[in-house]
């Protein structure tokens, strides 16, 4: 059960008292919940203590003052530092990749625009490679259970691959939330 972060004044004062005594946050929140009949969590107590400017005496001083980039003992260095020197740097995700040459299929597309596509037409796209170039679609009759005609279906999935999901009605299940 969660409670809001708006702690009552007496709860905040009790937290301050318990932390000053040297109790852990877990012990302090157990004492507060027992005393006031609340359901605060350890994380809520830590967050409230930080907002109040408190620090636990159980927390080492060096941890509180350590910069975020300090090396933690027992952790591996960042992945970039572990790469062998002779291994090539992978290409950046932001660099423009060379266009991939597409395989051809033995079909002449009808080159139908999006607004002219019918429900049973193949939706394999053509064009759009250059800036401002229109994207048109194959437009031949679709293969059953696919958005593409048989040649384009085989091109994209392979001739022996079944459709990943069959078209069918969508079933929604309503859950009664109590």
- Looking at the domain assignment, is residue 52 inside a domain? yes
- Looking at the domain assignment, is residue 166 inside a domain? no
Give the domain extent around 125. Answer: 114-157
The mean pLDDT value for 123-140 works out to 88
Does residue 163 contact residue 146 with C-beta atoms inside 8 Å? Answer: yes
- Looking at the domain assignment, is residue 152 inside a domain? yes
Confidence of residue 80 (pLDDT cuts 50, 70, 90): low
Is the pTM here over 0.95, yes or no? no
- Looking at the domain assignment, is residue 175 inside a domain? no
The mean pLDDT value for 118-133 works out to 88
Q: What percent of the chain has pLDDT over 70?
A: 57
- Looking at the domain assignment, is residue 105 inside a domain? no
- Looking at the domain assignment, is residue 165 inside a domain? no
Of the candidates 150, 152, 146, which has an alpha carbon nearest to the alpha carbon of residue 124? 152
Distances from the Cα of 37 to the Cαs of 11, 17, 21, 31, in angstroms? 11, 18, 21, 10
R_g of the chain, CA atoms, integer Å? 31
> Rounded to 5 degrees, what are φ and ψ at 136?
-125, 170
Cα–Cα distance measured from residue 123 to residue 149, given in angstroms and rounded to the nearest whole number: 8
The mean pLDDT value for 125-146 works out to 88
- Looking at the domain assignment, is residue 138 inside a domain? yes
- Looking at the domain assignment, is residue 167 inside a domain? no
> Rounded to 5 degrees, what are φ and ψ at 112?
-95, 135
Cα–Cα distance measured from residue 24 to residue 80, given in angstroms and rounded to the nearest whole number: 38
Number of domains in the chain: 2
């Amino acid at each position: 059960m969660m409670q809001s972060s708006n702690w009552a004044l007496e709860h905040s004062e009790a937290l301050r008292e318990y932390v000053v005594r040297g109790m852990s946050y877990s012990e302090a929140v157990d004492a507060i919940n027992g005393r006031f009949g609340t359901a605060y969590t350890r994380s809520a107590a830590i967050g409230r203590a930080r907002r109040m400017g408190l620090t636990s005496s159980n927390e080492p001083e060096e941890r509180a003052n350590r910069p975020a980039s300090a090396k933690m003992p027992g952790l591996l260095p960042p992945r970039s530092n572990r790469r062998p020197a002779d291994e090539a740097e992978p290409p950046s995700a932001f660099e423009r990749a060379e266009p991939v040459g597409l395989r051809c299929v033995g079909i002449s597309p009808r080159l139908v625009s999006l607004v002219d596509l019918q429900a049973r037409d193949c939706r394999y796209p053509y064009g759009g490679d250059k800036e401002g170039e229109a994207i048109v679609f194959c437009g031949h009759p679709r293969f059953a259970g696919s958005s593409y005609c048989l040649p384009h279906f085989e091109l994209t999935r392979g001739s022996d691959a079944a459709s990943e999901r069959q078209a069918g009605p969508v079933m929604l299940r309503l859950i009664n939330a109590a």
